[in-house]
Structure 1
Amino acid sequence: MAVWALGLNHTTAPLDLRGRFAYAADQLEPVLHGLRSTLNRRPETAIVSTCNRTEIYCAGDLGDRERTLDWLANSGGVSPALLRSHAYALEDGQAARHAFRVASGLDSMVLGEPQILGQMKDAVRAAEAAGAMGTTLNQLFQRSFAVAKEVRTSTEIGAHSISMAAAAVRLAGQLFEDIGQIRVLFIGAGEMIELAATHFAAKNPKSIAIANRTLERGEKLAARFGADVMRLADLPSRLHEFDAVVSCTASTLPIIGLGAVERALKVRRHRPIFMVDLAVPRDIEPEVKGLEDVYLYTVDDLAGVVQTAQASRQAAVAQAEAIIDAGVQSFMHWMDQRDPVRGVVPLIQQLNAQTDEWRALEIARARKLLAKGENIEAVLEAMSRGLTQKMLHGALAELHSADAEHREQTTEAISRLFLRRER
């Protein structure tokens, strides 16, 4: 059994391509059922999907990896060749290392950010609910969480991190002289919006409003910040009221279109609007960015802002990587103990290849002799002798060349390998 990961993230694929493969938390279970039904051996499977990455982790036969890529490409409506040019495929130790780095925040756009750990735990719960989680993947993820905890408690990797939400507030502060004088609208009621609202609320804006598809959930979040609540259907008619808009929903289509923003600007007499689209796929049509009085930022645009705080944490990366190295070694040792054959597979393959080569040579020689009319018994005798000589050559050479110190050990090993008695 092999462990492997197939995915794409913010370093390998642009935002709009990542958006094609983004799955909301409530989609993961049916998506897992759909994926596993297309695979021959139904491997253990889990899917991690965030605004920055979509990754499929499997424990099973490597032959399913290409089928998984084809399935993923089809689900996103792109060609396998296009997806392959932006995806990465990792196996065994590399897959484990990647999972540990992701859980520890080392592979995130914001170095050390903690949200990814919760998202990975959500992925495990979805896989368990779908009946797709087995012993091997469970070990991989539980060890990922343990490594992440050690990294966060033993290093400064997460110190002074600037989240996407904090970066949004920083950018708003560059546009507006006083955030205390602006009206802010948050679209959605998930974890990212809650985090963004917390950061903005700390600056005491003039007003806060929450727009959400489900009013009950929006009201619950609004109560924390003394905010107003509105329906998504009211957005087009009320967009002009807000100076800053932060959106992050699970919608598969944009919620705010170019026309709605143009009408809002007209009512505002072209007073600027600050907009942050934290959703993948996008909540705000990309054409909005071209409007003169709109300052629109996506998750990828915020990358430069969050990078400014990373220099002070780079010294902790080496320490975190050492913890991850130890975790990978431990996991691979567990894999080898569970399947002892894994550790000797390359040697077994080499032995099989070598003996196949010898067999082919002796068969070819025997056929030539038979074609010349040689006696069949003599040919079979020569072929068997040729095979045994080839098989014994290495062992006999070791016996003749071994010094006194190692001859006893060599003799014992060769006796055990070649002088076995059939029971």
Structure 2
Amino acid sequence: MTLFSLVATHADLDLETVGILSSGAAEVAGSVNVPAVTLATCNRLEIYAESPADDPTAVESSREQLIDAVAETSGVDRQTIASTFRTLVEDDAVSHLFEVGAGLDSAVVGEREIAGQVRKSLADAQNSGTVSGSLTRLFETATRTAKDVGTRTALGSRGRSIVSVALDIAGDMRGNGASFYRGASVVLVGTGAYAGTSLAQLQERGVHDIAVFSGSGRAEQFVAERGAAARALRMEDLAEAFASADLIIGCSGGNRQITAREIRSLAGVGPTGRQKDLTIIDLALSHDFTPDVAELPGVELITLESVKMAAPSETEDSLEQAREVVQSAVQEYLTERQQRSADDAIVALRRHTQSVLDGEMEKVRRQHGCTAAAEEVEFAVRRIVRKLLHTPTVRARELAAEGRTEDYVRALEDVFGLEVEPRDRPERAQPAKRRRAEEFSPVELAQMAAHLQKVPDGGFCQHHRPGEFAVERLAIAQRLAEAQAS
């Protein structure tokens, strides 16, 4: 199998194009028959996938499938997409993902949000059943590496992010940022990942008046889940909140954009309208506000492009520290992966010798029976086989460390006629299927009923107090338990 990735980022494209490509990104991995994980953020769309074979033809075929899927979900011309993505293969794809997770490839170098997005992209792929075991290891290792960069380097200690830079810009525009935020009235539009980060950052800066609006109606749940000192807005509250706001932050990424005309009406912008300036931060990749909002009098619009241009540069020492951590992690991961491929060859050789040994011992038993002599012969032969396999096993690991596993596999094929099959095939995981009540057998239902009798009302099991877990019960199993108890 071959690891490869399709990469479209802010480094090569304008963010508007990246946003268009990312529309429908969540459906891309599920529409192809190769293992794949999609990483879509505010400034990149990357798809990591595995081809079932290591020849260029198989990789190209898998790549074509993904390009077709992106074209279908985004509505962009296929030829344009094919020329837009960079393709990285094997070691290059690994290095790139590790650098991305550590924030080294971000518009704001060293940002901490991207690590969470890498982690979430894996979780989404696992829930959708589009990921393989090797892709899972890749993303988990990239996430651990990002954490190491955050804890072991000066780059991570700064805690910079796209949100923090955007808020810094807004504070600078309004004068003294610290005093501005302490007295600011803020409206947050959206309830996604950036909204959560924005809410936390606003609270850290001392903002006391924060209102949250969601077109999908999730604002109240969003605020409650975070225990935030913020209030949820309904549609009828929006005009009053906009009119009194000093700062509006958009990070919903929905299909509908707020226009200049709507801002003029809702926020009271105009010659006879509001008496204070308004700053708008648009953190949505697909834009929550139309560009003409920036032309309104007394309104400043900060976009992702603005953040990218204004992002502070890092010192070379900090970058070097982070690069060293990442490069070390990449090398360790690649070495372990090479050793796993050597393990496949070792297993194939051991299976072959074990098969030969078992065949010969079967002949001995047929001739001499299960006697002490036969057992002595088997013990001696197995000891000889272990000694004979020691050197080939050590040599396999040495060659793997040198990147020469293919030479070892070819030797096994030539000498023994063995075909080494990878144990970790690039097969897509399948999400667990939820069974309906009628699919359970009477025996299974009886077991459930017996278990429920031992569980306190409202509990999960006999070891946890009621209320610690909430699980949906099968009504039929509950009735059986009640019947048995009575």
Q: TM-score, normalised by structure 1?
A: 0.71
Q: Determine whether 1:299 maps to 2:318.
A: no
**3-state SS of the aligned residue for 2:36?**
strand
- Number of the residue aligned with 2:381: none
- Number of the residue aligned with 1:18: 18
- CA distance 1:106–1:203, change in 2 (3 Å): closer
1:224 equivalent among 195, 211, 228:
228
Which letter does structure 2 place at the counterpart of 1:6?
L
User: Contact (CA 8 Å) 2:280, 2:301: kept in 1 or not?
Assistant: yes
Q: CA deviation at 1:186?
A: 1.0
- CA distance 1:421–1:286, change in 2 (3 Å): closer
2:85 equivalent among 87, 95, 119:
87
Q: CA deviation at 1:270?
A: 6.3
Deviations 1:391-412 (CA, angstroms, capped at 9, x unpaired):
xxxxxxxxxxxxxxxxxxxxxx
Partner Cα separation in structure 2 for residue 126 and residue 242 of structure 1: 35
Q: CA deviation at 1:92?
A: 0.8
Which letter does structure 1 place at the counterpart of 2:97?
A
Q: CA deviation at 1:303?
A: 1.7
For 1:133-148, list aligned pairs within 5 A: 133-148=131-146
- CA distance 1:238–1:141, change in 2 (3 Å): closer
User: Contact (CA 8 Å) 1:184, 1:209: kept in 2 or not?
Assistant: yes
User: Contact (CA 8 Å) 1:275, 1:294: kept in 2 or not?
Assistant: yes
- Number of the residue aligned with 2:249: 246
Q: CA deviation at 1:65?
A: 0.3
For 1:302-381, list aligned pairs within 5 A: 302-309=307-314, 313-330=318-335, 332-334=337-339, 336-337=341-342
Which letter does structure 2 place at the counterpart of 1:125?
A
Which letter does structure 2 place at the counterpart of 1:151?
V
- CA distance 1:150–1:323, change in 2 (3 Å): farther
Partner Cα separation in structure 2 for residue 17 and residue 421 of structure 1: 54
- CA distance 1:337–1:204, change in 2 (3 Å): same
- CA distance 1:339–1:66, change in 2 (3 Å): farther
Partner Cα separation in structure 2 for residue 307 and residue 32 of structure 1: 35
Which letter does structure 1 place at the counterpart of 2:280?
M
Which letter does structure 2 place at the counterpart of 1:10?
H
Q: CA deviation at 1:319?
A: 1.7
Q: CA deviation at 1:71?
A: 2.2
Q: CA deviation at 1:244?
A: 0.6
- Number of the residue aligned with 2:382: none
Deviations 1:152-192 (CA, angstroms, capped at 9, x unpaired):
34333312142222223322222324413331111122332
Q: CA deviation at 1:117?
A: 2.0
- Number of the residue aligned with 1:116: 114
- Number of the residue aligned with 2:9: 9
User: Contact (CA 8 Å) 1:143, 1:331: kept in 2 or not?
Assistant: no
- CA distance 1:85–1:270, change in 2 (3 Å): farther
User: Contact (CA 8 Å) 1:182, 1:205: kept in 2 or not?
Assistant: yes
- Number of the residue aligned with 1:287: 292
- CA distance 1:330–1:132, change in 2 (3 Å): same
Partner Cα separation in structure 1 for residue 275 and residue 82 of structure 2: 44
- CA distance 1:99–1:329, change in 2 (3 Å): same
- CA distance 1:182–1:152, change in 2 (3 Å): closer
User: Contact (CA 8 Å) 1:140, 1:331: kept in 2 or not?
Assistant: no
Partner Cα separation in structure 1 for residue 323 and residue 22 of structure 2: 31
- Number of the residue aligned with 2:198: 196
Deviations 1:198-248 (CA, angstroms, capped at 9, x unpaired):
3223333462211123243244168512x2321246435642221110111
- CA distance 1:305–1:161, change in 2 (3 Å): farther
- Number of the residue aligned with 2:351: none
Partner Cα separation in structure 2 for residue 165 and residue 336 of structure 1: 42
For 1:34-45, list aligned pairs within 5 A: 35-36=31-32, 42-45=33-36
**3-state SS of the aligned residue for 1:302?**
helix
User: Contact (CA 8 Å) 1:43, 1:58: kept in 2 or not?
Assistant: yes
- Number of the residue aligned with 2:45: 54
- Number of the residue aligned with 2:99: 101
Name the Cα RMSD after superposition: 3.0
Which letter does structure 2 place at the counterpart of 1:20?
I
- CA distance 1:269–1:311, change in 2 (3 Å): farther
User: Contact (CA 8 Å) 1:46, 1:56: kept in 2 or not?
Assistant: yes
Q: CA deviation at 1:142?
A: 2.5
- Number of the residue aligned with 1:32: 29
Partner Cα separation in structure 1 for residue 130 and residue 314 of structure 2: 39
Q: TM-score, normalised by structure 2?
A: 0.62
**3-state SS of the aligned residue for 2:206?**
coil
Partner Cα separation in structure 1 for residue 147 and residue 219 of structure 2: 36
For 1:166-177, list aligned pairs within 5 A: 166-177=164-175
User: Contact (CA 8 Å) 2:119, 2:140: kept in 1 or not?
Assistant: no
Partner Cα separation in structure 2 for residue 154 and residue 14 of structure 1: 33
- CA distance 1:125–1:309, change in 2 (3 Å): same
- CA distance 1:328–1:216, change in 2 (3 Å): same
Which letter does structure 1 place at the counterpart of 2:332?
G
**3-state SS of the aligned residue for 1:184?**
strand
260-269 or 92-101: bigger deviation: 260-269
Partner Cα separation in structure 2 for residue 241 and residue 312 of structure 1: 44
Which letter does structure 2 place at the counterpart of 1:200?
L
**3-state SS of the aligned residue for 2:130?**
coil
Partner Cα separation in structure 2 for residue 240 and residue 309 of structure 1: 38
Q: CA deviation at 1:47?
A: 0.9
Partner Cα separation in structure 1 for residue 134 and residue 128 of structure 2: 16
Partner Cα separation in structure 2 for residue 171 and residue 214 of structure 1: 28
Partner Cα separation in structure 2 for residue 309 and residue 245 of structure 1: 29
Q: CA deviation at 1:332?
A: 4.8
User: Contact (CA 8 Å) 1:247, 1:279: kept in 2 or not?
Assistant: yes
Q: CA deviation at 1:334?
A: 4.3
Q: Structure 1 unaligned runs (5+)?
A: 37-41, 341-415
User: Contact (CA 8 Å) 2:185, 2:247: kept in 1 or not?
Assistant: yes
Partner Cα separation in structure 2 for residue 217 and residue 118 of structure 1: 21
- Number of the residue aligned with 1:186: 188
